[in-house]
Every structure is written in structure tokens, then in C-alpha cells.
Structure 1
Amino acid sequence: MNNPVTHIAFIMDGNGRWAKARRLPRIEGHRRGLNTAERTIDACLSLGVKYVTLYVFSTENWKRDKKEVDGLFDLAYRYIDRFEVFCRDKARVVVSGRRDRMPDRLLGKIVEIEQKTAHFDKICVNLLIDYGGQNDIADACAKVCASGVPTVENIRGQLYNAFIPDPDLIVRTGGQKRLSNFLLFQAAYAELQFSDTLWPDFSEEELRSIVADYAARIRNFGGLE
């Protein structure tokens, strides 16, 4: 049964270990990972994927060394500050997560790129920055409870960037087999794929293999075949 994939979400794990294996600073792994993210989005475009979610910075990442945190925010800024690329690809860029703790420089750039790309519709790139799945649900529940009855659909409508459909496929690189507070509500019926490849080494060939495997699966969403 052919299942076209509309939304792929990536947990981009393994940057630090990639750098350590090469005796490089951790930030070099993140820089290489940024290049991989760019290639992966291009590959998703060629596959006809409409939504791509990238786990850039989690709420738990604040526990890391300040130098690494600052470096991650700087890389996020540089990635977002590429309007000409997003314009070429007709890519809409949105950011999901808390906005009260990130640097003003980055926040300003996020607001700018979201406004500039709002009319693009070839692909939507959803960047999770200062994001936690538990916070996403808690914030949505707080909004719903303040004005109405907390049903599943009401909560869904208050999630960060609720217009984005739930992921069909979640890909985690780096060998770990867990969600790490990633899209907990939205992942209810997602297909999961865990790769031993460290994110900087993740390739278009591996992505195409994963998508081909996904297309062969039968998704019943709790029903019968």
C-alpha cells in the first residue's frame, strides 16, 4: 500500500558525538549538522514532502555549557537569515517553542522570516527552538481551560503552529530510541524510524530508503486493515 508522506519530523541527534570522534569542538558538529539539515530539506522538496520539522533546540538544552548554547543560537540565527534560499525554494519558515527566553537578536530574525515567507507554500519548514513537547501540551491546555472545555481537538487547536498536520514519519538519527520530549501530542500515530547514523552523516540516500520503507507500511490508525 502506497502511503505518500506529507510531514517528516527529524530528531537530529549525534552532532556532538560526530565532532568528538574527530577531536573537534562540539560546535563544529552542530555546524556540520546545519549543512545536513539544508541538504535534507532539499531532498524532502524533491520527494514532494510538504512539511519538515527539525528539532533545533529543546527546553532541556539549556542545561548545556553556555558557550555551546550561545553557539547553537548563533547557528539558528545564521540559518534563518537566508531569505534568498527560502525564496528560491518557496519555503515557508515557522518556529515552534517558547519565545520569552531566546536572544532578542534571534527573536527579531524569527519574526522577520516568518512574515517574509508567510505566503510561500511549496514546503513548510518548522524549526523547534526552545521547544518541549510537555510544555507544548501544557500551554495549550492552559489556553483551552481558560475559555472552554479541554477536548482533544480544542487542545490540538492551541498547540504551537497548530495548522501543521501531525507528522506521518519521525526520524531520529544517532542510535538512540526515544522521543526526548519531541512532539508528544502530535506523534500519537506517527511511524517511527531510528537510524544509527550520526546526523552530520545522514544522507539523501538513507532518507529515500526510509521513505520507501514508510510507503510500504499499512497505517490503520487503530482500525482494522
Structure 2
Amino acid sequence: MTTEGQQARHVAIIMDGNGRWAKRRHLPRVMGHRKGVEAVRELVRSLKDTSIECLTLYAFSSENWKRPEEEVDDLMNLMRKFIKSDLPEFIANDVKLHILGDWRSLASDIVDMLEDALERTSTGSRTLAVALNYGAQAEITQAARKAAAEGEITEEAIERHLFSAPLPPLDLLIRTSGEVRLSNFLLWQAAYAEMLFLDVLWPDFTPDHLKRALADFAERERRFGGR
């Protein structure tokens, strides 16, 4: 299938490079994470000027618990501050929050904040999906288990139980920092997504980088397994 001038409805980003950004500047890792949050904020503000209906961000993987306790605590505190400071802006800009992953296993106060944010943004027309305590292999396993409990395991049955079930099909997956791997992110959803690996650290990623990525996507030929 070939689509000229196609527009990406659903874009996902592996936000990589916060630590290296800080290290290059001889700063603590938490400063890289803070700068990364600013990049997220600017990107979300720019969505209204794009074709994107859903932006999915890999914020905290189930493997990130292996990081030093101090860094994990910093990340959780940044999450608290981000939700508190940016929720009013999400509501004002008609942005709907969606969470992927086992987020209910996070600290109880964060779970309460997320539940409140989900409820207060539920009528938004454009979606920001955030992967928290997320791992794609665990997601697929859980979806398959639920499908089996209902009867026959089919692709359609598994898809109904994925965290991304309410979202549009994934069109474009971007990873920053120059690394070329998926890191257990949206493995099922990325089956026929276009991919773009950028040699830019996440804190330096701007709305202009996203616009260029969308322009690159528009020029690609998507065959979905056909010729």
C-alpha cells in the first residue's frame, strides 16, 4: 500500500539520552531528566500544529527499577511535579491522558494523581499516552492470558487487551540518542510502524525535530508486507 503525503496519526518516542546529556555537561543525571521534562512540555504544546492524534512517550520502563535508588526517586519526584504543574495546561489544550503499563503499582500518591488526571482529561480530543512501569513482553503476555480466558487466542483478541487498545494504530516510532533498538517498547504495535533513529539526545529534541520526522514519514512508502 502506497500513500503519498501520508500523515502520521500516532507517533511514539523512546526518549533516550538524558543521562548522557548531563554527563557531557558535567551535571548530575537528575539535571538531564529535568531538561528532558522540559522537552516533553514543549513537544506536547506543539501537537496542535501537527497531524498527530496520539503521542506515546516511553517515560519509565519496568526495567528502570534496576537503576540506582536515588535516580529512581528523582524520576518519581519529577513525575509528581510534572503532573501537578502541567495538568491544567493539558485540560486547557484539550489533551487527553492515557497510561500504558502497570502504573497502579507505583507509589500510592502517584496513582492517586494519575487517576485524577485521567478523569479530568477524559474528554480531550488529542491523546498523550505515557508508558509507565511498562514492558512490551509483559503487556503481550498479559493480553494473551486474558484472550485465552475468553476463548480462542487470535490476533484480534490479543489486541483488544493491549494497553494501547483505545489508541490509533502506531504509524511512526522515533528513538533519540543514536541507539538503534526498541528496548521492549510497543513490540506488538510496532510490527508495521515506520521507524526513525535520531542522533540527538532527548533533552535537545525540539518540536522542529518532530516536524522533520513527520515530513520524513510523509515521504515513505508503506507496503504492510505487500509489494
Do they superpose with TM above 0.5?
A: yes
- Distance in 1 separating the partners of 2:58 and 2:87: 20
TM-score (norm 2): 0.95
TM-score (norm 1): 0.96
2:39 alignment partner in structure 1: 36
Alignment of 1:10-89 (within 5 A): 10-81=13-84, 82-89=86-93
- Distance in 2 separating the partners of 1:167 and 1:161: 9
Alignment of 1:17-166 (within 5 A): 17-81=20-84, 82-121=86-125, 123-166=126-169
- Distance in 2 separating the partners of 1:61 and 1:29: 16
**Relative contact order: is structure 1 or structure 2 higher (C-alpha 8 Å, sep ≥ 6)?**
2
Are 2:223 and 1:220 aligned? yes
- Distance in 2 separating the partners of 1:128 and 1:106: 14
1:36 corresponds to which letter in structure 2? A
CA deviations over 1:104-142 (Å, ceiling 9, x no partner): 111111111001111111x10000000000011011011
2:212 alignment partner in structure 1: 209
> How much has 1:45 moved relative to structure 2?
2.3
1:183 alignment partner in structure 2: 186
- Distance in 1 separating the partners of 2:195 and 2:159: 21
| Aligned positions, number | 223
> How much has 1:100 moved relative to structure 2?
4.5
Structure 1: segments with no counterpart, 5+ residues: none
User: Superposition RMSD on alpha carbons, in Å?
Assistant: 1.0
The 10-residue stretch of structure 1 (53-62 or 39-48) with the greater mean CA deviation from structure 2: 39-48
Q: Which secondary structure state, in structure 2, belongs to the residue aligned with residue 85 of structure 1?
A: helix
Structure 2: segments with no counterpart, 5+ residues: none
Q: Which secondary structure state, in structure 1, belongs to the residue aligned with residue 63 of structure 2?
A: helix
- Distance in 2 separating the partners of 1:143 and 1:64: 31
1:71 corresponds to which letter in structure 2? D
CA deviations over 1:188-219 (Å, ceiling 9, x no partner): 01100000100000122222111111101111
> How much has 1:73 moved relative to structure 2?
1.2
- Distance in 2 separating the partners of 1:76 and 1:190: 28
